[in-house]
Chains A and B, each alone.
Chain A
């Protein structure tokens, strides 16, 4: 009769993904390419923010975009129309990108040719927070119409991001969105997060966001030679 025994495993469930993500970050540092993982709900303004950022920074950096969508190419068509290379990843039902999918996107473009690559993650505040994509920094957008209670509902996303872009602030007076309360809730979860208020529609605050990003990219890739 075989005996039942307990064996120690002590292994992270996502350790394979985390290992690959770390390898990607090493490669990006070597190639001097900054990768930004941009996450938000559907309709928060991910594509709009990317287009505004491209306009603001296209003379400073060589930019490309990796678009993730469950099954469409509308976002990559919009980006390509702005003259910026875009790779579309269809996640075929998956709700997020992981490091292996991002690696495929990076392999599809010559990363030597770019200083700044955006990942437009799948529109979702839940799953993308759990998976390291290999990006250098993580950004999220919360748009005013979504409400100031989102840090209570999706705390992990606010915990893992380096910067929170509050979009659609031109809507503020039409809603009961409480900016102070939102900031308090976010800063409890993540005291290091940078919060930037913008409106992609009016252009307000885009310069502050672009300056923040420019500074991060320059710090990472070093001065141009």
Chain B
């Protein structure tokens, strides 16, 4: 439900960078979004198509890469990904220890964009 302000922010950032780089048209935007974020890709594109009308980003495709939830083992420091629905069986795949710390889960940035 909060896709609209987020999309507006994405458009503003992209237009700013397009201007700095003297681009005439934005063709694609690559986003990195953590798995714990609740943004819905289909709605993001739909909102984007709506608010980018009349700008150089009109028609641009949002390419969303989801990054998995990352834990680190408190014992051996091994880092591993996990499906958040399975946290009840959380244990380090290397040493089997079940005390692990959440490292990252909600990345939220624009990595790059394709322009002309």
Q: What is the interface of chain A, defined by CB distance below 8 A to chain B? A: 2-17, 94-96, 98, 126-127, 130-131, 151-152, 155-156, 159, 184-185, 188-191
Contacts and interface: CB of A to CB of B under 8 A. Distances in A.
Nearest to A8: B112
9 contacts: A6-B114, A7-B18, A9-B111, A9-B113, A127-B1, A127-B2, A130-B37, A185-B87, A189-B87
A9 B26 CA distance: 12
Interface string B26-64: 010001000011100000000000000000000000000
Interface of B: 1-2, 5-6, 9-10, 12-14, 17-18, 21, 23-25, 27, 31, 36-38, 69, 84-85, 87-88, 90, 100-102, 105-106, 108-116
Nearest to B101: A191
B1 A13 contact: no
Interface centre among B23, B24, B84, B112 (most CB of A within 10 A): B84
A155 B83 CA distance: 11
Contacts of B36: 155-156, 159
Contact of A9 (B2, B13, B90): B13
Contact of B109 (A4, A12, A17, A95): A12
A14 B6 contact: yes
